[in-house]
Amino acid sequence: MFTEYRNTMVLSDTKLKSILNKTYIGLPELTDGDGLGVRISQKGTIAFQFRYRWN
């Protein structure tokens, strides 16, 4: 079984605004635990992603 570490937390507007367009040193991916996540570059660019499974 493969286990991948991800930082699971509530993605708040305040948190994302504090990261936006500023130098960022931290985990490159933050998720809310329900499939919504953001990928953050070192320059502070934020890209949203939604992970789902089609059965």
Residue 36 lies inside a defined structural domain of this protein: yes
CA distance 49 to 12: 15
Domains: count for the chain:
1
* pLDDT confidence of residue 50: 93
C-alpha distances in Å from residue 9, one per residue of 1, 13, 54:
23, 13, 24
Q: Which domain holds residue 18?
A: 7-50
Is the pLDDT confidence value at 6 over 60?
no
Compute the chain's Rg from CA coordinates. Answer: 12
* pLDDT confidence of residue 3: 45
- pTM metric for this prediction: 0.70
Residue 15 lies inside a defined structural domain of this protein: yes
Q: What is the pLDDT of residues 15-31, one digit of tens each?
A: 899 999 999 998 899 88
Residue 55 lies inside a defined structural domain of this protein: no
Which has the minimum average pLDDT: 2-6, 13-17, 28-32, 33-37?
Answer: 2-6
Residue 2 lies inside a defined structural domain of this protein: no
Residue 26 lies inside a defined structural domain of this protein: yes
Residue 1 lies inside a defined structural domain of this protein: no
